[in-house]
Structure 1
Amino acid sequence: MDLLECRNKLDVIDKQIVKLFEERMDICGKVAETKIASGKAVYDAEREKQKLDAVSAMADSEFNQVAVRELFSQMMSISRKYQYSILAEHGRAMKLGFERLDKLPVEGVRVVHQGVEGAYSHAAAIQYFGKNAEIYHVARFEDAMKEVQLGNADYAVMPIENSSAGAVIDMYDLLTRYDNYIVAETFLPVNHALLGVPGAKLSDVKTVFSHPQALMQCSTFLNDNGLKQISVENTAVAAKRVVEEGDKSQAAIASEIAGQMYGLELLKPSIQNNQGNTTRFVILANRKVYQKDAGKISICFELPHTSGSLYNMLGNFIFNHVNMMMIESRPIPGRNWEYRFFVDIEGNLQDAGVKNALRGIGAEAQNFKILGNY
């Protein structure tokens, strides 16, 4: 058999496969209708496992057994997505529990941030809420989360991502532990300066204090000058410590505003690796609310440690024409080599495609949570 004959035979077989696939999907639609009537869930993990075991056993070779299992796994994943869309058409859309607002209330609110006055979080809070807002600080990120959850503050302003150093890992873990939700975001240009005590010179400095992220963002300057690096809670705390200890051999990496606030000498401005360095801050509240013009959704979920589980989960976005903007993973404490995934997508919780995609993920993932629409 020559190449042309092989291709012709494949064309015939492919046509048969497409016809059979469409017949299968038609039956899946009928299955969805019976599940609507009975209230039965679309996803039945045990039934799918039994089916995959059965069809893979029909293949002769070991290679084909694996291939058939993968093929049918994908077909079942597609059929579930089709069934979810049918449920949505019959008014069985997922109840998300979020309230839509015309505008986020920002007048007369209390706002908390981690660190002290002069920290970048403080600047981000002023940038979003204005100088007249009641803004106060706490020592730790977790303290800020507690203040919002308990209702002591209306909002918290927290860093979540930097354009140079990447994700602020602590924040992702805290978002899963507290019932607070992202309601807005703001982007703050970060301009790091080296600050010393009055009268100090750059040549005097041996040790530099700052937040770990700031140290990472200024690594080239620090390493080129052979400076010892010590991590502290945040950049403004570093500035305050240098003032209090009054040692010319010590300096802080912080904003120039923090330097002015604490009376420090500007030893060198703009020492960050990336001159376009920017930090993304999220605004958190303890209510499930979103603004009507919100365009980004953050979610998190866990998956079984099996081949293709993440691929199948992300397929919910593909089939519903939802664009994924970011994905981040974090180890699950106490479960070695298993991960929690954080995903940002474009869209609004009112969008039909978004709701259908979230329904699929919510039905099949473990510990699924919508972190916010903003």
Structure 2
Amino acid sequence: MEKKRVAIQGIKASFHEEAALKFFGNDIETVECNSFKQTCDVLKRKEADFVVMAIENSIAGSLLPNYTLLRDYQFTIIGEVYLHIQLHLLALPGVAFDQIKRVESHPIAIRQCDDFFNEHSHLNIVESTDTAACAKRIRDEQLTDTAAIANKLASEMYGLQVMERRIETNKKNYTRFLILTDNKDIQIEKANKASFSFQVSDEVGSLVRVLDAFAENEINLSKIQSMPVLGKRNQYNFYVDIEWLDHKKYEEALRRVLRYTINFTILGEYLKNDEV
């Protein structure tokens, strides 16, 4: 049986690959991409079977450009995965802390370690595109004056020592990733969560009617995100995640919501997965 090809933003041992391994297991082929848009292009060209895409972080918030990609590419969400983000300071084996002059990582990872950098203000901070890529560069170039902020997987893959463990300021830091596919034949049995996008008319109570349809059918609204419609003043795309226990009530809520919305799209129906 052929391995599932999973496109990720970043390289092996990045948090995206960690999320892919958590969702699919170890028997996958990782397709490394330089950007989220490239992951979508790879999937569209059938060079991958799935995309793992970060959509929100408990500290940094929603990744708004990725909502635009969901709308533009119209892939199907077939699952989600949560990662507990644990950030470690990694360096070459044998290097002492007082040898480190600079620390490299993704800007979001850097911002999540403010307390550490306040304590060690002499360190030169360098932003990069990917946490794991910073770890790989230290290994490849044998940099003895540089450390990376990355995950445990990166330390294992690139042979680096964990110099300082758990340097993130907020220890309850989670990222939610979506699993996307271009295969319309995949159906998720016993789905209990869905993601939608839609617009409503610019009049009083238009969004409330949609929310009431969910509430009156005992549908839990777990997320709502608005994005302006390009070139149209006072018009917004709404992205909504809902959860349900009774599938019949979910179907009834959908029938009502369709009456109140414009350009309604089901982005995916899948199993709720908040295990971390």
1:218-233 equivalent positions in 2, closer than 5 A: 218-226=113-121, 227-233=123-129
The offset of 1:202, in angstroms, is 3.2
Larger gyration radius, structure 1 or structure 2:
1
> Which of 254, 257, 263 is residue 361 of structure 1 equivalent to?
257
CA distance in structure 1 between the partners assigned to 2:110 and 2:233 by the alignment: 30
Structure-2 residue corresponding to 1:141: 36
What is the letter of the counterpart of residue 44 of structure 2?
Answer: Q
Q: Is the 8 A contact 1:331 1:337 kept in 2?
A: yes
Structure-1 residue corresponding to 2:187: 290
- 3-state DSSP of counterpart to 1:252: strand
Structure-2 residue corresponding to 1:310: 207
The answer to whether the aligner puts 1:333 opposite 2:230 as a matched pair is: yes
CA distance in structure 2 between the partners assigned to 1:125 and 1:334 by the alignment: 36
Structure-1 residue corresponding to 2:273: none
Question: Which structure has the highest helix share of the two?
Answer: 1
The offset of 1:359, in angstroms, is 3.1
The answer to whether the aligner puts 1:208 opposite 2:103 as a matched pair is: yes
The answer to whether the aligner puts 1:254 opposite 2:129 as a matched pair is: no
The offset of 1:154, in angstroms, is 1.5
1:27-106 equivalent positions in 2, closer than 5 A: none
- 1:319-368 deviation line (CA, Å, top 9, x unaligned): 322121111223333345543221111138x9232223223333332332
For structure 2, list consecutive stretches of 5 or more residues without a partner in the other structure: 271-276
CA distance in structure 2 between the partners assigned to 1:247 and 1:107 by the alignment: 38
TM-score under structure 2 length normalisation: 0.84
Query: How many positions carry a matched residue from both structures?
Result: 268
CA distance in structure 1 between the partners assigned to 2:244 and 2:31 by the alignment: 32
Q: Is the 8 A contact 1:149 1:179 kept in 2?
A: no
The offset of 1:299, in angstroms, is 0.9
For structure 1, list consecutive stretches of 5 or more residues without a partner in the other structure: 1-105
> Which of 46, 50, 53 is residue 155 of structure 1 equivalent to?
50
Q: Is the 8 A contact 1:210 1:231 kept in 2?
A: yes
The offset of 1:149, in angstroms, is 2.6
CA distance in structure 2 between the partners assigned to 1:229 and 1:278 by the alignment: 23
- 1:221-261 deviation line (CA, Å, top 9, x unaligned): 23443355443222112222344555544322101221232
What is the letter of the counterpart of residue 330 of structure 1?
Answer: M
> Which of 79, 88, 91 is residue 196 of structure 1 equivalent to?
91
CA distance in structure 2 between the partners assigned to 1:206 and 1:337 by the alignment: 49
CA distance in structure 1 between the partners assigned to 2:200 and 2:130 by the alignment: 34
Structure-1 residue corresponding to 2:240: 343
- 1:36-57 deviation line (CA, Å, top 9, x unaligned): xxxxxxxxxxxxxxxxxxxxxx
What is the letter of the counterpart of residue 199 of structure 2?
Answer: E
Pair 110,221 (structure 1): closer, same or farther in 2 beyond 3 Å? same
Larger relative contact order (C-alpha < 8 A, sep ≥ 6)?
Answer: 2
TM-score under structure 1 length normalisation: 0.64
CA distance in structure 1 between the partners assigned to 2:203 and 2:134 by the alignment: 45
> Which of 157, 160, 163 is residue 267 of structure 1 equivalent to?
163
Pair 114,320 (structure 1): closer, same or farther in 2 beyond 3 Å? same
Structure-2 residue corresponding to 1:79: none
CA distance in structure 2 between the partners assigned to 1:209 and 1:337 by the alignment: 41
Pair 169,212 (structure 1): closer, same or farther in 2 beyond 3 Å? farther
The offset of 1:279, in angstroms, is 2.2
